[in-house]
Structures are given as structure tokens and as C-alpha cells.
Amino acid sequence: MTHRIGVVGASGYGGAELVRLASGLPTLDVAIVAAHSRAGEPVASVFPNLAGTRVFDEIDVDALGELDVVVLATPHGPALDLAPKLVEGGTPVVDLSAAFRLSADGFAQWYGEEHPHPQLTPATYGLPELHRRTIPDATLVANPGCYPTATLLALHPLLALVEPGSIVVNAASGTSGAGRTPTDTLHFAHVHGSASAYGAPTHRHTGEIEEHLGHGEQTSGPVQFTPHLLPTARGLLATCTADLRDGVGHDDVQSALHDAYDHEAFVQVLPSGTWPTTKAVHGSNGCQLSAVVDERTRRVVVSSAIDNLGKGAAGQALQNVNLLLGLPETTGLTAVGTYP
């Protein structure tokens, strides 16, 4: 059986990557590739790797509503408009924006505007390694951000082992994480051979990390998050540190990570002291993790590498689409990166 899906925002990096991943799969027919500003233009004129005669479609809610799943790869503004209409009509949605990742209060705090659909948020959080049981029955799935994906996979299994309020996250992403819209800070001459921090201490992903890191009675407390821009197109590395609780040691940390991920298709726990690299997961839906305990400072250091357009966006979206459609979760995806 072939399922018909649509991608809105297909002229952006995340949307185009999803089209690439889904194209040619016998289980999926990418029936609509919609882009507001590029409608009518050849897809190949923007992304030559998607060669062919296809053109970007107009955004037509009625046409999208006839599909089995719609993926929104737009900024949060259009998603706030489109997602409720599609969900009300019974069409499942995977949203790559931040429109429905946070509670209404959290959205107002971190995005500076009241949420127009508080009854729909937070939607089911689309990090399958943590929420696999709830995703298949969801009508609206909030695909996590790239920084939160890497950070949550690194820290979630360790939350009971560390002191609340002690978590520090330093993460770095390739320039594609900022999207296709050209800005002065993303000019090749400005980023080539350079690296810089930005957005701290109020980067919007901080709220997403804090809201989704806690589980049960466990809480992360405030998280210090500092993102960095790398002079590379894609790839993301998050290195997280936190104070260990009394009595927690190396074996506890390693056991927690292996218990959480040894059965997972897309998360690999590397031996302690072998550090993950973005090159190893380039072009994949994989995540590599490694952790060490610093006995001198009584802190744990855990590092996580993903492809920001793969597990950080389009790959994870396809993972969620597969779950919504009852397909094997790994369909069309691999944890093996392109190397070198």
C-alpha cells in the first residue's frame, strides 16, 4: 500500500531533505511539495539534487486535507495557521516548527506572543526514543528542534543521576540550521574559517529543553544553553555537563545510557572516552553519544552528535511519519553516515 503525503515548506532545507528521503520509497507518494514564495518554480532550480520536471505547488488546504499525512516544514507562523485546519479536518500533521512544542505559557514566554490555539499545545512531542508509544495515535506531532534533539538524547537517561539546576549545554550547528533566508551573519565570507556563540542566555530552544527534559517527578531545573555557529553546512554537536548526585559513578552513567539506547535503531552509545563526530552521522538519522565522569569535579560530560537536517529535522520527521502510518519506523532511514 502506498501512502500519500505532502510537504509544505518544501523550498527550505528541512522540507527539501524530507522530499529527498521520501522520494522513491515504495511506501510513500510525495503527492504535494508546496512552497508559498516558490510556487510554480521548478524544484530543481532551487535544489539541483532533486532533478526532474516537478514544480513547487501552491499551498492548498483542501488538497492537503486529502492526504494521509502532511509535514509542515515552515516557520511557526504559517504552522499556527495551517496545522489547526488540517487537524480539524482529520489529517495528521507532523510540524517541524516550534508552533506546538511548548505549553501555551511556555510559548508566550519564549516566543513573546500569545498562543492562538492553546488547546492544541503542547502537541505530542515527536522524539520517538522517548515518546514512541504515543506518536502513532496522535493527530498533531511536534517534531523537536535540532538542538533539543541532541541535548535530550544525551541527558534524558541521566536526569535521575545529576543535580537539578547544574546542567550546562554547549552546542554547535552548521549554517543550514538557520534556514535558507540569507542574512549578513551567514555570508560565506563571514562564516568560513570562523566559529561564534549566539543567542545566549535566551535562545528559544532553552525553554524546549527544560520543558521536555523533565519526566515524572524529575526536573532538570534551569538549563544553561549556549548555541554556536560552525563554518559547515550541516552537523550538530552538543556537549553537556552536570553535577553528579552523591554516590553516582562511571558505571551508573554507562548503564543508564546503554539501558536507554542499546535497543534503539538510530542511537549508538560509544565507548567512554571515544567521542562522537558530526562527520560520522552526516546525511543520516543517527545519533552518536559518549559520556565520561570527571572524578575531580564530580561532573558528568556527555557529548551527542547528529545531522541537524537528519535526526535534527527531516529524518526525524520521516521517523514520525512512519509511526503515524503504521510503517516500520526505520523505513527510508539509516543511522550510518557518509564518511569522509
Task: Point out the catalytic residue in the list 22, 146, 167, 281.
Answer: 146
Give the whole-angstrom CA distance, residue 257 versus residue 160. 12
Helix H segments across 53-132? Answer: 61-64, 76-88, 104-111, 128-131
Q: Which residue has the cell 529527498?
A: 20
Q: Quick one: residue 306, left, alpha or beta (phi over 0 = left, psi -120 to 50 = alpha)? A: beta
Annotated catalytic residue 240: no
Is 137 within 8 Å of 324 (Cβ atoms)? no
Q: Are 110 and 276 in contact (CB under 8 A)?
A: no
Return the closest-CA partner of residue 248 out of 304, 289, 300, 291.
300
Triad 270, 146, 89: Cα angle to 5° = 125
Closest CA to 150 of 179, 183, 174: 174
Residues with a known catalytic role: 146
